Structure 1
Amino acid sequence: MSGVSDESSPVGRVLGTADATPLQFWTAVTPGSYLQLDDVVVTQRDLPDREPVTIAGVVTQVRARHEGAQFDSDVFAIADGTLPALVQEAAEITTTRVDPELYVPPAPGAIVHRASGEARDAALHFDRMDRRIPMGTGRDGVPVFLNADFLDGTRGAHVSISGISGVATKTSFATFLLYSVFRSGALGADGTNARALIFNVKGEDLLFLDHPNTKIDETTRAAYKLLELPATPFSDVRVYAPPRAGDSSGAPDVSSRLTGVDTFYWTLEEFCEKRLLPYVFADADDERQQYTMVVHSVTAHLNRHAVPAEGGISIDGRRIGSYGDLVDHIVEQLTDDETRSTWAGSAINMGTVNAFARRLIGSKRDLSRLIRGDLAQRRPHQIKTAESAQVTVVDLHNLPDRAQRFVVGVTLKTEFEEKEKAGTGRPLLFVVLDELNKYAPREGTSPIKEVLLDIAERGRSLGVILIGAQQTASEVERRIVTNSAIRVVGRLDPAEAARPEYGFLPPAMRQRALLARPGTMFVNQPDIPVPLCVEFPFPAWATRKSESGPPPSETMKSIVQGADPFAVVGSRGGSSDDDIPF
């Protein structure tokens, strides 16, 4: 870290009335100057017979006071000019870098400069990042970067995003981060070949990621240009939606996007062959119950005895053409004294069987449109990112809670197994999942939670990167949060901000998180000691139907899919997120 700053004028001096330590010190602000939270500053400490030590840091608190006043009421006399006093501002500096690494405190009275240019990059360790992913601008309006080594699995992986629903713009930031990965070129070939799997759980906002946002203005375009990104939508998107309830044709259940949507479902044969029954019981509380033994016994029986048949499957010579028929058959066999032991084992009592049967019968309404025997096995009907587009959006918002859990669990299980079979960490797969506290709660266990834990703990080596969003990180499984190298916080609830999961935020930053406006995030990454305040630009892709530009033609899409992903692709469009735009 050479020099102190590209600016010659000092902004203050190290205070002599407050303790200065190698890791934190206070600076008196020069009259006529100012320091705000998140400003980057730098100073030097001269040492005998050694080169000077450069100490850089970030402003984490600012105060102003009257010097010369003794009582609270003195402020009125000072304002009237009858009592002499001096207004003095001071800023708390938290050290981010010491070069060379001699941890000595700055000397009181040492000149402090506002860092810019190379000095700022060095203070924030940007100069040590071989691959930098732009994620927005700092309070100084200069780009802020994410170290790709802690995103793609090289030295760490996974992102945890927390904040109040509808205000924190969690999904907006997640999609912008993906966009930056795909379009910045920071990951090179890994970014070109990477895939993204996004679960859309609220509204139909994410169905327009490939449509241009008609409401972006020149200021927004300038913000993208500053980050060296094109202000265009995602170029290669495929949307999947469930079949409409009660529709025998299997038409996708969407209302705003009328073209370019594929239907996803599972055939009865696939349901039995791939052992998907446990994901019907995907609530974290379910695994605590004894009837889970019945679940696994029935799953094994279906796997062994179900065979393909026209219009569905055949079990023990009985043809079954719908999920409802399958449920009725299972319940019938379990309640029959002669067949119960064959399906569930001899040690299972009727109370346990009845508990299983009640829950299975309750799933008919939720899952009948997803598990089908009446639809021909047309392709694509399964969600496979390797055979899809660069960005695959799975729409869940029209599904009830149990069905959402089933789709998320089965899809993640399938994708993770495919990566395990491939045995390689490339190409990368980014999984964006909102409401993580619902799928991987702190208490209890479930098939979905186990898959998410696998991704959090082993996904890095297989190239599966989880970008999880939740309102309350305190309610998410600890191992998932602690395995996230990147932690992001938007607007927080006051009670949530006090939880230990946000201990990485300095006290002043915790307070600011209660006031953060949409588009402002606090990002913590391993090689920067202090979380950075980041403002990311308004989405260049449509966040709702009303702001969606013309959809891309099939001709244009075929051209784009074979084109350079870092090139600017005209005016194509896309979707934003479940949170309000800012």
Structure 2
Amino acid sequence: MPREQDEVIPVGRVVATELKPSTPHQFYFWTARQSPVGIGAIVRVATVERLVYGVVTDGYAYSDLMTPMDDVIGADGDPAAVDAHPTERAEIRLYAAAVLRQEPAEPLQPVPIGDVFLATDIDVIAALRMDAYTEGERATKLPIGVYHAAGLRAPVFLDADFLLGPEAAHLNISGVSGLATKTSAVEFLLTSIFQTFPAHKGSVAAVCFNVKGPDLCFLDQPGELSAEDLELYAKLDLKAECFQSVRYFAPYKADGVNLNTLRTNRALSGNTEPLVWGLREVLDFAEVLLNR
């Protein structure tokens, strides 16, 4: 429900004109020049009747000039002469925001004129509709990252049912090749799953195929984390530790004796087993193969 009072100082105010009116899906607001608002920031519009969450999609800057010619003439055609003028032109900062959520949801109406506030942790959860699975005794939230904008770092959660449950499909991760960013994202997601997957949903195991380099060969060994990394883990209430239960399977080399793996050190070989596939395994699963 809409909040009657806000202790936080507003950073802007909704403005609606004939040329740029508010709609149920988009609105505009102005801020002070030094405001921390930027593209991607989540904001909240609070009035007595309605609560609106939006995300900033564009920004504009205006002055009282009608045309660029006015500024050129005012400076006598010399940009260096602008600093000599004692009066600085007022600059208006205007932002466009797309509506993420309205409370109440019905009737769906244009965004009202009201104060604009930067989002808090609670606002981010409401704006992204994460409250549907982050609250209650049978919550299904999985921490997947941190929303960072306008000085705020807020946890972001995914619904476990849509990643691992009956409604799950797949997860696509894209990024620049060769930087290990996609691999790091998967490893972080697996860490979150193993630490926070709801107990009432059962248990989870992951099968990983290491297809290039040693990226996945040392998942059970701790890595180096910066103070900022540790802060992000703490923000998500996750332990910054390596995977605790890992089994490795590696094929034999051509000699048929040694395993083709980088985990040859005695300290690492304890949980490394040979991966073999022969006639016995084919016969054991022949029914599955033929039935397909």
Question: With structure 1 as the length reference, what TM-score do the two structures score?
Answer: 0.42
Going from structure 1 to structure 2, the CA distance change for 1:261 and 1:169 (only over 3 Å counts) comes to same
Going from structure 1 to structure 2, the CA distance change for 1:227 and 1:31 (only over 3 Å counts) comes to same
Is 1:228 paired with 2:227?
no
1:6, 1:115 within 8 Å by CA — same for their partners in 2?
A: no
Going from structure 1 to structure 2, the CA distance change for 1:131 and 1:82 (only over 3 Å counts) comes to same
Deviation at 1:20, TM superposition (A): 1.5
Q: C-alpha separation between the residues in 2 aligned to 1:27 and 1:95?
A: 13
Is 1:204 paired with 2:211?
no
Deviation at 1:64, TM superposition (A): 2.8
1:4, 1:119 within 8 Å by CA — same for their partners in 2?
A: no
Q: C-alpha separation between the residues in 2 aligned to 1:70 and 1:240?
A: 70
| 1:452-489 per-position Cα deviation (integer Å, ceiling 9, x unaligned) | xxxxxxxxxxxxxxxxxxxxxxxxxxxxxxxxxxxxxx
Match of 2:136 in 1: none
| 1:485-538 per-position Cα deviation (integer Å, ceiling 9, x unaligned) | xxxxxxxxxxxxxxxxxxxxxxxxxxxxxxxxxxxxxxxxxxxxxxxxxxxxxx
Is 1:100 paired with 2:110?
no
Q: C-alpha separation between the residues in 2 aligned to 1:97 and 1:237?
A: 42
Match of 2:93 in 1: 89
| 1:429-452 per-position Cα deviation (integer Å, ceiling 9, x unaligned) | xxxxxxxxxxxxxxxxxxxxxx9x
Pick one of 274, 278, 290 that aligns with 1:267.
278
Pick one of 40, 51, 57 that aligns with 1:60.
57
**Which secondary structure state, in structure 1, belongs to the residue aligned with residue 261 of structure 2?**
coil
Q: C-alpha separation between the residues in 1 aligned to 2:119 and 2:5?
A: 5
Deviation at 1:6, TM superposition (A): 5.7
Structure 2 residue identity aligned to 1:99: E
Q: C-alpha separation between the residues in 1 aligned to 2:28 and 2:16?
A: 9
Going from structure 1 to structure 2, the CA distance change for 1:9 and 1:240 (only over 3 Å counts) comes to same
Match of 2:31 in 1: 29
Counting matched residue pairs gives: 270
Structure 2 residue identity aligned to 1:232: E
2:64, 2:90 within 8 Å by CA — same for their partners in 1?
A: yes
Runs of 5+ unmatched residues, structure 1:
47-51, 276-302, 304-412, 421-450, 452-582
Q: C-alpha separation between the residues in 2 aligned to 1:38 and 1:240?
A: 44
Going from structure 1 to structure 2, the CA distance change for 1:272 and 1:99 (only over 3 Å counts) comes to same
Match of 2:228 in 1: 219
1:44, 1:106 within 8 Å by CA — same for their partners in 2?
A: no
Is 1:8 paired with 2:12?
no
Going from structure 1 to structure 2, the CA distance change for 1:74 and 1:199 (only over 3 Å counts) comes to farther
Deviation at 1:56, TM superposition (A): 0.7
Match of 2:194 in 1: 182
Q: C-alpha separation between the residues in 2 aligned to 1:73 and 1:265?
A: 80
Q: C-alpha separation between the residues in 1 aligned to 2:11 and 2:103?
A: 21
2:2, 2:46 within 8 Å by CA — same for their partners in 1?
A: no
**Which secondary structure state, in structure 1, belongs to the residue aligned with residue 187 of structure 2?**
helix
Which structure carries more relative contact order (alpha carbon 8 Å, separation 6+)?
1
Match of 1:131 in 2: 140
Going from structure 1 to structure 2, the CA distance change for 1:53 and 1:2 (only over 3 Å counts) comes to closer
Q: C-alpha separation between the residues in 2 aligned to 1:264 and 1:257?
A: 15
Deviation at 1:226, TM superposition (A): 1.5
Deviation at 1:196, TM superposition (A): 0.4
**Which secondary structure state, in structure 1, belongs to the residue aligned with residue 230 of structure 2?**
helix
Q: C-alpha separation between the residues in 2 aligned to 1:188 and 1:162?
A: 30
Deviation at 1:3, TM superposition (A): 1.9
Deviation at 1:61, TM superposition (A): 2.4
Higher share in helix = 1
Question: With structure 2 as the length reference, what TM-score do the two structures score?
Answer: 0.80
Going from structure 1 to structure 2, the CA distance change for 1:144 and 1:202 (only over 3 Å counts) comes to same
1:136, 1:144 within 8 Å by CA — same for their partners in 2?
A: yes
* Structure 1 segments (4+ residues) deviating >6 Å: none
Going from structure 1 to structure 2, the CA distance change for 1:143 and 1:99 (only over 3 Å counts) comes to same
Deviation at 1:272, TM superposition (A): 6.8
Match of 2:261 in 1: 254
| 1:272-320 per-position Cα deviation (integer Å, ceiling 9, x unaligned) | 7756xxxxxxxxxxxxxxxxxxxxxxxxxxx9xxxxxxxxxxxxxxxxx
Structure 1 residue identity aligned to 2:255: D
| 1:223-276 per-position Cα deviation (integer Å, ceiling 9, x unaligned) | 2122111111111001111211x2122x2201355313212121135447756x
Pick one of 16, 20, 23 that aligns with 2:22.
20
Match of 1:38 in 2: 40
Going from structure 1 to structure 2, the CA distance change for 1:197 and 1:97 (only over 3 Å counts) comes to same
Deviation at 1:30, TM superposition (A): 2.9
2:163, 2:169 within 8 Å by CA — same for their partners in 1?
A: yes
Match of 1:172 in 2: 184
Q: C-alpha separation between the residues in 2 aligned to 1:5 and 1:114?
A: 15
Q: C-alpha separation between the residues in 2 aligned to 1:44 and 1:19?
A: 18
Going from structure 1 to structure 2, the CA distance change for 1:103 and 1:136 (only over 3 Å counts) comes to same
**Which secondary structure state, in structure 1, belongs to the residue aligned with residue 173 of structure 2?**
strand
1:134, 1:180 within 8 Å by CA — same for their partners in 2?
A: yes
| 1:166-222 per-position Cα deviation (integer Å, ceiling 9, x unaligned) | 2471121111111101112x422436x211011111201211111111x22443223
Q: C-alpha separation between the residues in 2 aligned to 1:159 and 1:5?
A: 40
Q: CA RMSD in A?
A: 3.1
Going from structure 1 to structure 2, the CA distance change for 1:257 and 1:125 (only over 3 Å counts) comes to farther
Going from structure 1 to structure 2, the CA distance change for 1:6 and 1:125 (only over 3 Å counts) comes to farther
